[in-house]
Amino acid sequence: MNDHSTPQPVVRLDGVVKEFVSTTALDGLSLEVGAGEAVAVIGPSGCGKSTMLNMVAGLDRPTAGTVTVHGEDLGALNETALALFRRRRVGMIFQFFNLLDDLPALDNVALAAQLAGVAARPARERALELLGELGIANRRDVYPAALSGGERQRVAVARALMNRPGLLLADEPTGALDSHAGEQVMDLLLDLNQMGQTLMIVTHDPRLAQRCASRVVRMADGHVVSDRSLERA
């Protein structure tokens, strides 16, 4: 069941251990994700899903083991290089959107490119194009507080896609949404994957896994306990 090795995986976790003061969150986790896959990572609360995703995003470092993304050993990167990696090579979507409240939708999206070194004008042009593709260009000047949950998550998806990351990571992307908005976000993730975007989605929602994923990895107690490919309609 665990035979998912690919010649050049986008993500490779090898024997990853993460210890916090009183817990071992990851206990020798190994996993490979190939280009174009949509991998849902499921498992009970506290089994280490978010910790694993944070390692892949370069937001945290393992206690032991290696994390390789796009062929780059993240453990070999200093803090500056790791910050660049986060801005340019991965996009991340969170349960609670993580938008900046005092910027309208368009600037929330454009900022991601400006932080990666793109000038303001082309950044805003690309941001508007993405908002258009995600069906919310008409909300460009609206502040997050006045957007619906589904609109906020679409702005967050646009922001995550700004720098054309080879890998899109999502941590409970539908967790704060009602079922209608959740389904729109699921459809969006599915469309992105069908256009070739590699995805890793952490979720405890089996519907999300079933609908968007080409493969479901189940974790328990800090490691992978099952790994299966799904047939998609």
Applying CB under 6 A, the residues found at the interface with ligand ADP are 20, 23, 25, 43, 45-51
Q: CA 179 → CA 41, 182, 185, distances in Å?
A: 20, 5, 10
Minimum Å distance from CB 39 to ligand ADP? 15
Using the minimum distance from each CB to ligand ADP, give the nearer residue, 20 or 141: 20
C-alpha span between 30 and 51 (Å, rounded): 13
Give Cβ neighbours of residue 119 (< 8 Å, ≥ 6 apart).
none
Cα-atom radius of gyration of the chain, to the nearest Å? 17
Q: How far apart are the first and last CA of the chain?
A: 22
Minimum Å distance from CB 14 to ligand ADP? 18
Structure tokens at 7: 């010649």
Using the minimum distance from each CB to ligand ADP, give the nearer residue, 161 or 168: 168
Q: What is the DSSP string of 169-203?
A: EEESTTTTS-HHHHHHHHHHHHHHHHTT-EEEEE-
Minimum Å distance from CB 172 to ligand ADP? 8
Using the minimum distance from each CB to ligand ADP, give the nearer residue, 46 or 122: 46
Using the minimum distance from each CB to ligand ADP, give the nearer residue, 4 or 204: 204
Minimum Å distance from CB 23 to ligand ADP? 4
Using the minimum distance from each CB to ligand ADP, give the nearer residue, 48 or 165: 48
Minimum Å distance from CB 81 to ligand ADP? 23
Burial of 216 (0-12, 13-18, 19+ CB in 10 A): buried
